[in-house]
Amino acid sequence: MSFAISSELFEKAKKVIPGGVNSPVRACRSVGCDPVFITRASGATLWDADGNEYVDFVGSWGPMIMGHAHPQIIEAVVRAAGSGTSFGAPTPAEIDLAAMVVEALPAVEKVRFVNSGTEATMSAIRLARGYTGKKVVVKFDGCYHGHADSFLVKAGSGVLTLGIPGSPGVPEEIVKNTISIPYNDEQVLETTLRDKKLDIACVIVEPVAGNMGCIPPEPGFLQKLRSLTSELGIVLIFDEVITGFRLAYGGAQQYYNILPDLTCLGKIIGGGLPVGAYGGKAEIMNCVAPDGPVYQAGTLSGNPLAMAAGIAALRLLQQPRFYQELEAKSAAFAERLIEVAARVGIPVQLNRVGSMMTAFFTATKVTDFTSAMLADTERYARHYRQMLAGGIYLAPSQFEVAFISAAQSERDLDNAVKMTEWSFKKLVEK
Ligand code: KE4
């Protein structure tokens, strides 16, 4: 494979864009190579500027559950574009997508659209603080909720991959109101939430962690979180930017049957266009301007093209048996990877929930940030480069997830398993 044109493009990009990328993890720093520049995608296939072809397991970090350039999504966006691209005024499509989200998510009575997952979570914690009159936000080590100041303490994706614990530019006055505790630790959770000295407004959690690699909630953890926050009058926020419409049509809240007070969404609900959303109990959402005093706004919120893409995407997810078939495909693929690792004799922990999974290069069970940090990131980097050379496009970080989509064919998955076995064998050879 030649990456000559991508390398040229990267040099050009670095002259005008910090690091040559518009999001740090894309720079592939933690996997020891330069990024390839993608020019086209269709279904489960990506093509880069050198014409190399890849089976895609990143799916634009989650949105592309239906695969790339799905004809019905493209057709919806093209049709919408023909009527104009942005009005800064309410449109019928916003009502349609909002109604679909409310219909799908058991804990959401009202929803506000924004333009990214970060905007969704940033707005949700402001709302929780405004609604409760309290200040402290509790999050979990290794969970990532976007790059708003309040979250950049032991964040997961991006910051963790770059090894920057928190970030310069975030005033400590902000982060002193953010507490980060270990994921899956009920003991510390209870002690923290019951600490009378803490003026806790909300807890925000990835119901399945996806930004320190895939880490499922331990049995009972989410139930404990729900019962404690209900008892103590703390707003429970599910950050479902990844899990929303990924684990089930009703997201993690349907999958685990746990109802948060607020839900944050992104990725899939935009069908690949920039959409985020936060929603929840009407009693809380009615505190959002202009109904209530909690301010939040956005020029392109509810953009007609993004709404059209989101509506088309969710309609495709309503197909009967969509999630059962995706689960069967994901489970079978994960099982084959586990078998390959055992056959080759390489220590790998394969964490999976539904169609999101991570192969951690470690012999230790991965249940939280500390155990995730034991993974061999050098070995992952070699694996990433070997798989890329073999036409398999993985996340350029050990601390992200691989996604199965409706578009990967049996042949694609067979190729990925074969390449994985080849790469694992090279890794154990040294
Ligand atoms: P965005 O602002 O990137 O749309 O969403 C932030 C966000 C919020 N919550 C969760 C659970 C998320 O996973 C994310 C963003 N995810 C990362 C990858 N895991 C985006 C990739 C990137 O930063 O380039």
Give the domains, in start order, of the chain with CATH numbers: 4-69+321-429 (3.90.1150.10), 71-317 (3.40.640.10)
Atom of ligand 1 nearest to the CA of 266: 4
What DSSP line would sit under 109-173, residue for residue? Answer: SEEEEESSHHHHHHHHHHHHHHHH---EEEEETT----S-GGG-SS-STTTTTTT-SS-TT--HH
Atom of ligand 1 nearest to the CA of 143: 11
Atom of ligand 1 nearest to the CA of 240: 11
The pLDDT-based confidence of 207 (bands split at 50, 70, 90) is: very high
Q: Is the pLDDT of residue 163 over 50?
A: no
Count Cβ atoms below 10 Å from residue 230 Cβ, excluding itself.
12
Distance 207 CA to ligand 1 centre (A): 14
List the catalytic residues: 144, 239, 267
Do the Cβ atoms of 313 and 319 come closer than 8 Å? Answer: no
Do the Cβ atoms of 126 and 292 come closer than 8 Å? Answer: no
Distance 4 CA to ligand 1 centre (A): 29
Closest C-alpha residue for ligand 1 atom 5: 117
Do the Cβ atoms of 88 and 95 come closer than 8 Å? Answer: no
CA distance 66 to 180: 34
- 3-60 confidence digits (pLDDT tens): 999 999 999 999 999 999 999 999 999 999 999 999 999 999 999 999 999 999 999 9
| pLDDT > 90 in the chain, percent | 91
Closest C-alpha residue for ligand 1 atom 7: 146
Distance 311 CA to ligand 1 centre (A): 21
Ligand 1 site, CB within 6 A: 23, 25, 61, 116-118, 121, 144-146, 157-158, 206, 210-211, 239, 241-242, 266, 276, 400
Query: What's the mean pLDDT when you consider all of the chain?
Result: 95
**Choice among 176-180, 246-250, 302-306 with the minimum mean pLDDT:** 176-180
Closest C-alpha residue for ligand 1 atom 21: 61
CA distance 3 to 19: 18
Distance 145 CA to ligand 1 centre (A): 7
Closest C-alpha residue for ligand 1 atom 8: 145
Distance 196 CA to ligand 1 centre (A): 32
Q: Is the pLDDT of residue 370 over 60?
A: yes
- 79-132 confidence digits (pLDDT tens): 999 999 999 999 999 999 999 999 999 999 999 999 999 999 999 999 999 999
Q: Is the pLDDT of residue 70 over 50?
A: yes
Dihedral sign computed on CA atoms, order 134, 140, 145, 150 = positive
Query: Model's pTM, two decimal places?
Result: 0.97
Q: Mutation test of ligand 1: which of 157, 208, 356 has the most ligand atoms closer than 8 Å to its C-beta? A: 157
Residues 312-338 have a mean pLDDT of: 98
Torsion angle, alpha carbons of 277, 281, 284, 290, to 10: 60
CA distance 259 to 239: 12
CA distance 277 to 100: 12
Q: Is the pLDDT of residue 196 over 90?
A: no
